Structure 1
Amino acid sequence: MNRPLMAAALAAAGTLLAAWTSVPAQASTSSTFTSTSNPVLFVHGYSGDGSNWNTMADRFRTDGWPSSYLDQWTYDWHQSNTTTAQQLSAEVDRLLAATGATKVDIVSHSMGGLSSRSYLKNLGGTAKVDAWVSLGGPNHGTDTANTCFDTSCTEMRIGSDFLAALNSGDETPGSPRYATWWSPCDTVINPDSSVALAGAANTKTACLSHTGLLSDATVYAQTRDMINS
């Protein structure tokens, strides 16, 4: 081969090699934000705030969700969960208006599951929510609430009037998809069986603490795939 032809061949080979090595590995389609993905409204628990979701929200951003679709909402956790449900209703409407979406997905931790369930059951939320997630939610009460006295906390006591009304009839009403995650090592929610709901997809996690549910990578991936399915 003469020198000009050899040089051209080597240049072409180099270009092809560069193209092969510069193509990034494709992310799983299940972890990618799409045109059908909903905005996510995060609802924290007792004594928490919106910053509790920083790790999970960052993971959603890494997987393609725009920040405008990730609402780390903060509310007054001392008040009745019924009051919080009313405020949550307004926040859902605000998020829908801001994004132009028709439905939201709600991801809740601990007590946040109670106000969001109240919104779904009593305030028409089933028409505006596509998927609902409870991470370590005291859906049927917890004995750790016996030692605190805020209105919201007394509502978490096993056998409270609030929980009796919330759990009466269908525990997963309407068309939203419901899912819960519970840990056998969660010492805040007692008994462990409190978390699961009839009609929901109920998942046992690895040995995680109550707050560990917020940052565990596996719980995140399962949550992401559930709401994005």
Structure 2
Amino acid sequence: MTATVAAAGALLAVQASGPAQASNGSLFVSGSNPILFVHGYNGDGSNWNTMADRFRADGWPTSHLRQWTYDSRQSNTVTAQQLAAEVDRLLTATGAAKVDIVSHSMGGLSSRYYLKNLEGTAKVDAWVSLGGPNHGTDSANSCFDTSCAEMRIGSSFLTGLNSGDETPGSTRYATWWSPCDTVINPDSSVSLSGAVNSRTTCLSHTALLTDTTVYAQTRDMINR
């Protein structure tokens, strides 16, 4: 979810040493992957403008930054199938072997479903969740789209998604959560077993998208 009432997504945080810097000053190197950004409930690809601009400033070519937009009212299972096709398009366009996924709020759920149930771990090197409702949020009780019902605590969708291994495959997982995020309740919803789970400073749900520290930590986590 983005700036709206009723959604959730995944958070981020990992303390990592900075990536190797290319000779031209760019942090984008031969091993860097293209990035697919997945927004949350009632959002769109423009939610990522600030973060994508920062990646560009750090050397990522525009061709490697996909700010994807989808219908956030539909089931996350449908979105996951569309996401699978989007990943394949990005791999074909860039010639890369794998992508990195950076998600916000509810975007973490469809991308996790893709990883777990649609063989996405073979194509995703790193997955990031910024303020994701990975175990549900009570803010989803006030909206009624199919995707909202899936975000509710104890939903059958989340029960299935969280059964067994929460972070399957060789994909590297990281979440960031904020103690001041009033959209994801409880705060503990974001963290996943097997992921690097980090707490941010006092940030709002949407500020996770634009905070400079969260950006730098996300960049360094995926770029290694």
Normalised by the size of structure 1, how large is the TM-score? 0.87
Shift of 1:116: 0.0
Shift of 1:28: 7.2
AA at the equivalent of 1:187: T
2:127 pairs with one of 114, 119, 132: 132
Q: Secondary structure at the match of 2:101?
A: strand
Q: Identity percentage over the alignment?
A: 81
Match of 2:80?
A: 85
Q: Using the alignment, how far apart are the partners of 2:184 and 2:49 within structure 1? A: 22
Match of 2:21?
A: 29
Match of 1:178?
A: 173
Match of 2:103?
A: 108
Match of 1:218?
A: 213
Match of 1:48?
A: 43
Q: Using the alignment, how far apart are the partners of 2:148 and 2:45 within structure 1? A: 19
1:52-201 pair list within 5 angstroms: 52-201=47-196
RMSD: 1.2
Q: Which moved more, 1:147-156 or 1:28-37?
A: 28-37
Shift of 1:205: 0.2
User: Structure 2: which 5+ residue stretches go unaligned?
Assistant: 1-18
Higher helix share: 1
Q: Which has the larger radius of gyration?
A: 1
User: Structure 1: which 5+ residue stretches go unaligned?
Assistant: 1-26
AA at the equivalent of 1:144: S
AA at the equivalent of 1:142: T
Q: Which aligned segments of 4 or more residues in structure 1 are displaced greater than 6 angstroms?
A: none
Q: Secondary structure at the match of 1:152?
A: helix
Q: Which gives a bigger RCO, structure 1 or 2 (Cα 8 Å, sep 6+)? A: 2
